[in-house]
Chains A and B, each alone.
Chain A
Amino acid sequence: MNQSIQTQSPNNVSLLISQSRTNTLGNKTGTWRFVRPKYQEKTAPCSNACPLGIDIAMVEMFASRKDYHSALNKLLMENPFPAICGRVCFHPCESACNRQFLDQSVGIHHIERFIGHWGLSHAKNFDTYPELNGAKIGIIGAGPAGLSVAYFARRLGYRCDIFEKSEYPGGLLKSGIPSYRLPDRILMDELERLNNDDIQFKYSQSISMDQIKTLNEHYDALFLCCGDAHSIALKISGEQHSIDGLDLLHQIRSNKMPVIEGTVAIIGGGNTAIDVARSLLRMGAHPIILYRRTRKEMPAHSHEIDAALKEGVVLKECLSPIEIQKNMNQLEVKFQCMKPGDITDGGRQTYIPDGNCSVTMPFSHVVSAIGAEMDIMWRNDQWELSMSHCQMKRIADQPVFWCGDLTTSEKTVTHALASGKQAVIAWDVMRNQSQNEINHICHQCQVGKGPAISFDIYTNGERKNRNNTEIVSFERVNSAYFPKIPAIQVNKISQESCQNSFNEVISGFDETQMMNEASRCFNCGICNDCDTCRIFCPEMAIQWDKSNRHILLDYCKGCGICIEECPRDAMNLEVEP
C-alpha cells in the first residue's frame, strides 16, 4: 500500500509527495509467465570434436581459476595421459573451437600440456583405482590402445595383464614419435600412472593368433592392441636399398643412433615421413620429402608440415618413385612425374602419371615412409560387435576385442586411447548386463554427436543440468561479452636449436600464459558462475547461495533476458508445463 509523507521545512515550504516503504515481494510477477528459463548446460564443440570426449570447457574453467587439481581430474577422467596428449594429439578440439569465429581458437593442447605437466609432479599416480571385481583381462600390446585398456579397465576393477613383445611400454609413443615432440622423461613419468600391482606388464612376449586360444583360458576377455606392426613396402625395383621409416625412428629413439649424412630421400606424405625428415635434419642430413601428390593431399597434419618446412626440410611434389639403383656410393632414384587426374566421388583429387615424364635424382639414402599395416594374422571380417573404435568376436567362447590401429581409420594416439576406453566400456556392459545393451548404454554416454563416449557419464551417471547431445554454436555465444584477444603465442626453442638437437621444440606455456589463454575460453555451454543472469534479472528472481543457482518461479516473469544475456548458452527457455 502506498503511503504519503509530508515534511515541513524550516521555511514552511509545502512538500507532499508519494512514497512507499513496502517492498515488492507481494507482487508475484511469476503469474505473468508463459515460458520459463532453466539452467541447461550443453556440449562445447571442442568436446564434441575430441576423440576422447574430454569435458574441455570445464578443464579450461578450472585452469583459468588456477584450480589445477580439478582441471587435472577432469582430464584424467577421460584421458590417462594429458602430458603426452598435450604434445602429440593433433587437437581437433582447436579446429572446432568457437573462439576462432571471433579471433583465434583457444590453445587447448598447450593448456592440457600444462595441466598434465602439473600432474606429473602432483598426481602422477592415479589414486582412485577401486577394489578388484574378480575378473581378469589380457591385453596384447603396450602401446597407447593397450595402455588405455588397462587404465580404464583397472578403474572398473579389472585385473590386467599386458603382453608386450618389446622390453618397454609405450609402443609407438616410445619407438615412433621423435623426442623433439615427446621427450622420454615425460613419457616415462606419465606411464607411472599405470604403476599398480594389478596391472602386470609382461615384456618380450610376442603373441600370435594361435596363442590366443591358450591365453583365453586364463582371462575373461582379451584385447588385441598390437597396432600396425608392418611397414608397407614400396614394391619397386631396388626397394631393398631403402630404409624403413619406422625402423629408423625406432633406432633414433634407442641408443643405437645411426649415422646418416648427405641428401636423403623420404618417400611418403604422412606423419612418419615428416617425423623422419625432421629427425634427419637434426642428425645433420639434408632431407627431401618426395610425395606423389601435392602438399594439399598429404595425410600429415598441416602444422607438422609447416614446422618441417620452416626448419629446412625440402618438399618435392608430384613425384612417384619407380626405381632405385645403386651407383657407387649413391642411390639413384627414378621418379615418375604425376599430374592431377579426375576428382573422385569423395571429392579427392587423384593423380595420374604425366606421360613418360620422369626425373632421376641422386641420394645418399632412401627412406620409405608410405605407411604401415597390421600383421596379416589379425585380419578378420566376421564381427559379433562392430563399433566406431573397436570390434569384437568370440574365440573359443571368450570375447576378444580388436582395438587401436587394428580397427580405427584415423591412426593417432588419441584415437587409440579412445578405442581402449570404448572397448573396456563395451566389455563391462557385456559382462554386467548384456551384449544387447552396449549400443544403448554407449549412446547414453555419448559426448555431443559422438562417437566419443564419456567415462564420467558411464561411471557417474548423467551430468547435472547437461544436455550432452546439444552442441553450442558460435551464434549462441553472446560475443558482446568477449573482447577480441589474440591467442597467446607458445614458447619455442630457437630455429638453431631445432636443427642441431632433439630438444623439445615447443617449450609450452608458463603459468601466466596458461591462465591468460584459459581465460580466453568461452566455456561454451557450461555455467561458470559468471553471475550475468542474476545481474540482469529485472525481477531479482535468480538466487545464488554457495554453489546452487536457482530461479524463484514466484517472481520470474519469463522475460528471457537471462537467456539472451548468458554469454555461453548455458540456459534455455522452455514453454511453461
Chain B
Amino acid sequence: MTTLAQALPRRRSLGLGWIRNYVLTVYAGLALVYLFLPIAVVVLFSFNNPAGRFNYTWQGFTLTNWTHPLNYPGLSGALKVSIEIAILSSLVATALGTLIALALVRYRFKGSGLTNLLIFMPMTTPEVVMGASLLALFVGRGVVLGFLTIFIAHVMFNISYVVVTVKARLVGFDRHLEEAAMDLGANEWTTFQKVTLPLIAPGIMAAGLLAFALSVDDFVITYFNSGSTTTFPLFVWGAARVALPPQINVIGTAIFVVAVGGMLVNIVFQNTRAARARRPASTA
C-alpha cells in the first residue's frame, strides 16, 4: 500500500540527516551485536573441548559434543520432561485461552472486567511471587509436587499470553463475514468451523508456539513447583553448580537453530509471497 507520504518526495535536510541516519543505523547495529554476543558465545563453546568439568575457557575445537549431544547423565530425561510438559501445557493453554479470548471479545458478561484483570495479573506479577504462591497452594492442599504440578503451573502462566495473542487477532475480525455465512444458511457451529476458526487460526497458531516456547524456557516457576522432577532448565541450573558440560550448549544451540530457522523461513516465504502479490496489482 502506498501512502501519500511515500508518494510525495521527501524534504531533504542537507547532509546532516544522512549522518544522523548513519549514526542511528550504527547504534541499532551495535544493539543487535549486544543481543547476539552471548548467543555467539553459546554456539562457540558448544564446539569447545573443555579440559575440566567447567566449560568456561576455550581449550580446543571438537565435534564430539555435537555427535554425542545427550552424552551426559540425566540430560535426555530432563529434555524429555521439558518437551512433554511444553506440548501438553501449550495445547491445553491454547484451547482454554482461545475460548476465553472469544468469550471476552464477543460477549459482555458479568465479571468480564474482572476476567480481563485476572488475565493481566499473571503477566504483571514477578515470577518468584507466582511460583511461591503456587507452591503455597500445592503444599497447603497436600498436592505432591512433580510432573502434574509443573503442568498446572505452566498452563496457568501460559493462558494469559494465549488470551492476549488471540484477542489481538479477534479485535481486527470482520464480523460481517460470520453474518454472511449465517445468511447463507450455516448454523453457528458450521460458521465457527468454516469461517471463524480459519480466520483466527494464525493467531491461535502463534499463541500455541509462544506458549510452547515459554514453557520450555521457564525456570523460576518450575523451580518452585517441580519436586524431584527435572526439566531442561532445572537440569542446567543443577549442572551449573557442579560442572558445565558443553552438551548444554549443544542443546541450547540446537533449540535456537530450529526455532529461529523455522521463523526465518516463514518470514522469507511471507515476504516473497507479498512481493508476488504486489506485482500484478501494480501492473493493473
Q: Do A and B bind each other?
A: no
The chain A residues found within 8 Å of chain B, CB to CB, are: none
The chain B residues found within 8 Å of chain A, CB to CB, are: none
